[in-house]
Structure 1
Amino acid sequence: MLWTVYLSGEIHTDWREQIIAGAKKLELPIQFSSAVTDHDASDAAGDVLGAEENAFWRDHKSSKVNAIRTQSLIEKADIVVVRFGDKYKQWNAAFDAGYCSAMGKPYITLHDESIIHPLKEVDAAALAWAQTPAQVVDVLRYVVK
């Protein structure tokens, strides 16, 4: 079976590349997908629908255009990995985790120990909590082999 894993969350570090490289090295039967990781492109996703003077409406349109991709890929995924970094608050990642939980979609959270408390509900619904990309790869190896 070819598994599909959606990588959600923080876009400012190379955690995605680490997981993909680790899975490839182990020859795991996994196809990865992800949100748009170009911050500026993501923020401007709705601009094709017309300019907005008000930042709220620009963000509103862009979030909806981004949701077309995000919701479709999460729904198609077998497993979702949701990464929370320490530099920015990833409210979108929390939303993705909630979406997974509501659908009964298995997900793994990836974050360090310093943000356990604010993510307690998100972690409670996750099927695993990893602190490193290598741990995610280990979980994926176990699940898909």
Structure 2
Amino acid sequence: MAWNVYLSGEIHTDWRERIEEKAGQADLPVTFSAPVTHHEASDDCGVQILGAEQNKFWHDHKGAQVNAIRTRTLIGKADVVVVRFGEKYKQWNAAFDAGYAAALGKPLIIIHGPDHQHALKEVDAAALAVAETPEQTVEILDYVINGRLAGYNA
């Protein structure tokens, strides 16, 4: 069985690429999906496709709705949802994705550093695992998919 893993969260570091690379090295039967990570395209998709808006609220609203078609569909099809919270920006969209996935009963893996423990305590409580690195996330996937645990004979 191929597992569908949705990678949500911050777009300013290479964490997605690191997960995909390590999963490939581990030969995991995984298909990854994600939101559109080109920031400007994600912001402007609604007005680019459906027409300009003078008010920034409606500009953003149109984009959010168009992006939600992708996000809701891919999270709905996911076997596991991974949500990364970065250091630099507040990722309200990532928190929303985590809540949406939790409401659907999707297994959640949350990634963030120790400095976000308090701010994300409710998100972490909904998760089945909270990792600090993309590499730990791949180890979790390897274990749950293949039953392999580094240092143990499976």
State the TM-score, normalizing by the size of structure 2: 0.93
Is 1:66 matched up with 2:98? no
Find the counterpart in structure 1 of residue 80 from structure 2. Answer: 79
Aligned-partner residue type, residue 104 of structure 1: G
- Residues 1:90 and 2:71 aligned together: no
Task: Tell me the distance in 1 between the aligned counterparts of 2:96 and 2:105.
Answer: 14
Identical-residue share of aligned pairs (%): 64
Structure 2 Cα separation of the partners of residues 106 and 55 of structure 1? 35
Counterpart CA distance in 1 for 2:102 and 2:133 is 22
Distance 1:36 1:140 in 2: 23
Q: Tell me the distance in 1 between the aligned counterparts of 2:133 and 2:9.
A: 14
Kindly provide the CA deviation profile for residues 45-102 of structure 1, in whole angstroms up to 9, marking residues without a partner as x. 1011110011100000100000000000000000000000010100000000000111
In structure 2, give the amino acid aligned to 1:9. G
Greater than 2 Å deviation, 4+ residue runs = none
Letter of the 1:25 counterpart: Q
Long gaps (5+) in structure 2: 147-154
Larger radius of gyration: 2
Aligned length: 145
Does residue 1:24 correspond to 2:18, yes or no? no
Instruction: Deviation per CA, 1:6-59: give whole Å up to 9, x if none.
Output: 000100100000000000000000000000000000001101111001110000
Taking the TM superposition and a 5 Å limit, the aligned residue runs for 1:1-145 are: 1-47=1-47, 48-145=49-146
The code of the aligned residue for 2:127 comes to A
Q: For each residue in 1:93-125, what CA deviation from the matched residue of structure 2 results, as whole angstroms up to 9, or x when unmatched?
A: 000000011111111000000011110000000
Counterpart-to-counterpart distance in 1, 2:44 and 2:9: 18
Cα RMSD, aligned residues only: 0.4
Q: Distance in 2 between matches of 1:95 and 1:56?
A: 18
In structure 1, runs of 5+ residues without a counterpart are none
In the alignment, the residues of structure 1 paired with residue 56 and residue 114 of structure 2 have an alpha-carbon distance, to the nearest angstrom, of: 34
